[in-house]
Structure 1
Amino acid sequence: MGIIRITNIQIYAYHGCLVEEGKIGSDYRVDVEVKADLQPSAKSDHLRDTVDYVQVNRIVKEEMVMRSKLLEHVGKRILDRILTEIDIATEATVEVSKINPPIGGNVEQVTIQMTLSK
Structure 2
Amino acid sequence: MGVIEIEGMKFYAYHGHFAAEQIVGNNFEVYVRLETNCVAAAESDNLDDALNYQAVYETIKEVMQEKSALLENVSKRILDALYDRFPKIEKARIKISKMNPPMGGEMERVSVTLER
Q: Scaled by the length of structure 1, what TM-score is found?
A: 0.96
Whole-Å Cα distance in 1 between the matches of residues 14 and 89 of structure 2?
Answer: 29
Equivalent position of 2:95 in the other structure: 95
Give the letter for the 1:19 counterpart.
A
Whole-Å Cα distance in 2 between the matches of residues 57 and 75 of structure 1?
Answer: 14
Whole-Å Cα distance in 2 between the matches of residues 44 and 96 of structure 1?
Answer: 33
Give the letter for the 1:101 counterpart.
P
SS, match of residue 67 in structure 1: coil
Pairing 1:53-64 to 2, within 5 Å after superposition: 53-64=53-64
Gap regions ≥5 residues in structure 1: none
Equivalent position of 2:3 in the other structure: 3
Whole-Å Cα distance in 2 between the matches of residues 105 and 111 of structure 1?
Answer: 16
Equivalent position of 1:85 in the other structure: 85
State the 1:40 CA deviation. 0.6
Equivalent position of 2:107 in the other structure: 107
Give the letter for the 1:93 counterpart.
R
State the 1:30 CA deviation. 0.4
Runs of 4+ in 1 over 6 A off after TM superposition: none
SS, match of residue 104 in structure 2: coil
The Cα RMSD (Å) is 0.6
Pairing 1:22-41 to 2, within 5 Å after superposition: 22-41=22-41
State the 1:48 CA deviation. 1.1
Equivalent position of 1:13 in the other structure: 13
